[in-house]
Amino acid sequence: MGERRYQRWLAYGQSKLANLLFAFELQRRADAAGFELTSTAAHPGFAATNLQTAGPLLEGSKIRELFARATNVAFAQSDTMGALPTLYAATEDLPGGTYIGPDGFAEQRGHPKIVGANGRARDEESARRLWEVSEDLTDVTYVFNGR
C-alpha cells in the first residue's frame, strides 16, 4: 500500500493487477453462490491522456513532460479509442471473467478483443486475500444470496 515509499509506476501497475484480481474474484464468488452476475475487466492499451504528463508536470520536469508528450503523439492511440475496450466489456454479451484490450501489437492500440491476463492476475489465493483485505479496510462485507 506504499506506506513506506511511493513509486508512481509501481503503484499504477499494482492497482491494475488489483483491478484484475478483484474482477476475477467477484466472478468466482458470484458463480459459487449461483448469483447471476457478469464481471469483466478491460484495459485501454496506450491511450493519449494526461496520465503520462501529470507526474512530470507536478515535479516541474519540462524535459520529462516534453518526452511524455512526444511519446503520446508517436505511439499512443486517442483517448476515444482507449475507451472502446471498457465500452465493449460493458455492453457485449461476454462470459464472466473475460478481459478485454486492444487488438494491436502488444495490446497497445487497436479495436477491442478478448485478451489474456498474466498468471499473477489469475492467482486465486492472491485474489482471495485482496478481497478480504478490501473488506477489512472498507468495513464492508459482500454477501451473495445470503451466503
Indicate if 99 belongs to the active site.
Answer: no
Helix or strand (DSSP H, E) at 138: helix 124-138
Q: b/e string for 84-118 if b means 16 or more Cβ within 10 A?
A: bbbebbeeeeeebbbbbbbeeeebebbebeebebe
Place of cell 496520465: 51
- Catalytic one of 12, 88, 99, 142: 12
Closest CA to 46 of 6, 85, 99: 85
Judged by DSSP in three states, 43 sits in coil
Catalytic residues: 12
